[in-house]
Amino acid sequence: MLEVDLLEAKARKRRLYFAVATGLFIGGLAIALIPTLISKTQPEQQILTTENPPERPNEVTEKNLVQSVEPDSVNQPIQSPTIQLSDQSEFEEQFFAAVKTYDETVEPNIDNYQSILGDQGFMNTIRGFQQDIAAKAAQEQYKDGLTILKKMTQVATDRITQENNRLEKLLKQVTDAWAIKDIDLMSASLKSARLISSNNKKIVEYSSLLSDWPEVETLLNRAAERESKGKIDDAIQSLQQISKLNHDIDNLSSRIDSLQTKQKDILETRLIEQLFLALEKSDLSSANEAIQRLLKAGIPESAYTHLLADYNQKKYDAEFVIVSNAMDSAIVKDDWIKAKQLVDQNQKVFGSEPRFKARAEAIYKIHKGIAEVSNALAKPEQLLSSRVRANAHTLLERISPDLNMSLQLRSKADQLSALLASYRTKVPVTVVSDGLTYIEVKSVGKVGETTGRVVELLPGKYVFIGKKPGYVSKQIEINVEPGTPAQIKVIADEPI
């Protein structure tokens, strides 16, 4: 970079000043001998080196284009810095500002053009300018250095403009060729443009488009062919593949959206037709499949409301027939538990249906009758109570109209009737005592004083009471079972 060159040149100048100061220190005799020594000695270029030169104000270190600086005339006597240098401080700020501008704007542009970087003659000219500028800076001749810098900037800018014009012309050819898909012309123009600036953004973009064009063109043709044959899915897939490639098709997304809309319309028409045909045949399974596909495709129910209502009614009727048949089957099998389960499971759906309601009431009635009779038969000992026996008789009267509907109910009713009949037959009960105890049966009658007597009682619960003067009365309970003779001993033997 130019600024680095200037730093190096200045460092060399400082070293030169140091050498001059040392010479002055030797004395007047050495000064007198200098002209003679110069005339006898061939001038030699002095190369001064240093590893770490001190920094000066206004110096910027970036890129090093190290160039050796030749003195203007080694035959001239070296003069003191005070005499040699004129005051050029007024140009110093302008000079370094111009250097900064060149480094930031001109030189990066040169780097963007391979055609400039590859032109050795031009690049040597630029390097020559840079050497002269570095020399002037080393001598602090900023005015002259600024003049050379402006000249170099103008030369570089003119060349950049020239190359840019060439590039723009080629890019125009590329754009026009791409518009009409003249691939050969576009390829040749891009090749020429890359020789000027291969990293140009438009060149990179067009190169990518050109690279993917064969595949893009194939997919476009395939999409058009598939669409013409009604294969919308394949056409959409082809266009979606293009979206993953380099392309400049502005309406690609809208084309895909349009095909997807068309695909949805075709699918809607086909599915609604399938639903209609399925309902015509009362094929509820196929109808349900068509409805599910309509829902999955996002087709609103408003598009097939009448068919959906027809489907729901047919489905309701079909399910009612299935439930009714299941209940009838359970009734035929005399399985009233299953029949009641079916009623409970479908009450919410078909509870308002008159046909279902009539069946449900009959099933509940029979099921309840069987349960109550079974409960009475499971606990026969409770029939010893006259109240329970009365309730059992009432139960039999209540279920008598339904006996023809269930063999199970009739059988259980017969069992209960027989059991109740056995409670109407008296059973012999032998009463044993000491002949002194007066015996009576509570709420039934007197037995009297006896050592042994047989009384006949209906099955049930009885309390025998024994009384004798001077003794505590005694009460004894007994359950008289149907068909089972019993014996009881009643003696009042506890003195008062």
In a domain, 25, yes or no: yes
Contact 147, 98 (CB under 8 A): no
Q: Can you tell me the distance from the alpha carbon of 363 to that of 491, in angstroms, rounded to the nearest whole number? A: 56
Examine the domain organization and report whether 64 and 77 are in the same domain. yes
Given a cut of 60, is residue 426 above it in pLDDT? yes
**Residue 87: pLDDT above 50?**
yes
Verify that 160 and 34 share a domain, yes or no.
yes
Mean pLDDT calculated for residue range 15-19? 36
Both 375 and 466 in a single domain?
no
User: 11 and 126: one domain?
Assistant: yes
Q: Is residue 391 part of a domain?
A: yes
Of 171, 186, 201, the domain-final residue: 171
In a domain, 345, yes or no: yes
pLDDT of residue 128: 96
Does residue 347 sit in the same domain as residue 467?
no
pLDDT of residue 2: 53
For residue 57, pLDDT over 50 is answered with no
249 pLDDT band, cuts 50/70/90, is: very high
Are β-strands 486-489 and 427-432 bridged in parallel, bridged antiparallel, or unpaired?
parallel
Chain mean pLDDT for the chain: 84
Hey, is 489 helix, strand or coil? strand
Residues 374 and 461 in one domain: no
Q: Give the pLDDT of residue 89.
A: 78
pLDDT at 75: 32
pLDDT at 186 over 90: yes
Residue 117 lies in a domain: yes
Tell me, yes or no, whether 313 lies in a domain: no
Residue with tokens 């409960």: 375
Looking at 374, 393, 424, which one is the last position of a domain?
Answer: 424
d(CA 48, CA 53): 11
Answer with the one of 376, 391, 424 that is the final residue of a domain.
Answer: 424
Question: What is the per-residue pLDDT for 127?
Answer: 96
Lowest mean pLDDT among 10-14, 15-19, 349-353, 423-427: 15-19
- Residue 54: pLDDT band with limits 50, 70, 90: very low
Are residues 73 and 98 located together in one domain of the fold? yes
Whether residue 342 is contained in a domain is answered as yes
Nearest to 420 by CA among 457, 459, 456: 459
Name the least confident of 73-77, 211-215, 262-266, 346-350.
73-77
CA distances from 33 to 74, 76, 452 (A): 16, 14, 183
Judge contact between 2 and 65, C-beta under 8 A.
Answer: yes
DSSP 8-state assignment for residue 382: G
The whole-number pLDDT of residue 384 equals: 86
147 and 47 share one domain:
yes
In a domain, 260, yes or no: no
Q: Where are the alpha helices (DSSP H) in 201-251?
A: 201-228, 232-242
Residues 6 and 144 reside in one and the same domain: yes
With vertex at residue 128, the alpha carbon angle to CA 122 and CA 131, rounded to the nearest 5 degrees, is: 145
Q: Is residue 377 pLDDT above 80, yes or no?
A: yes
pLDDT value at residue 1: 54
pTM of the model: 0.48
382-401 residue pLDDT tens: 888 889 999 999 999 999 99
pLDDT more than 70, % of the chain = 82
Considering the domain architecture, whether residues 403 and 463 belong to the same structural domain is answered as: no
Q: Does residue 385 share a domain with residue 410?
A: yes
Has residue 203 been placed in a domain? no
Residue 31 has pLDDT above 60, yes or no: no
pLDDT digits (tens, 9 = 90+) for 135-172: 999 999 999 999 999 999 999 999 999 999 999 999 99
What is the CATH number for 437?
2.60.40.1120
Total domain count, the chain: 3
Among 75-79, 188-192, 260-264, 324-328, which is the least confidently predicted range? 75-79
Q: Is the pLDDT of residue 40 over 60?
A: no
Is the separation of the CB atoms in 406 and 370 below 8 Å? yes
Helix (DSSP H) and strand (DSSP E) numbers for the chain = 18, 7
Cα 368 to chain centroid distance, Å, stands at: 55
pLDDT above 50: residue 63: no
For residue 370, the enclosing domain spans: 334-424
Q: What share of the chain is helix, strand, coil (3-state, %, to 5)?
A: 65, 10, 25
Tens digits of per-residue pLDDT, 279-302?
999 999 999 999 999 999 889 999
Question: Do 345 and 438 share a domain, yes or no?
Answer: no
Question: In this predicted structure, what is the pLDDT of residue 424?
Answer: 87
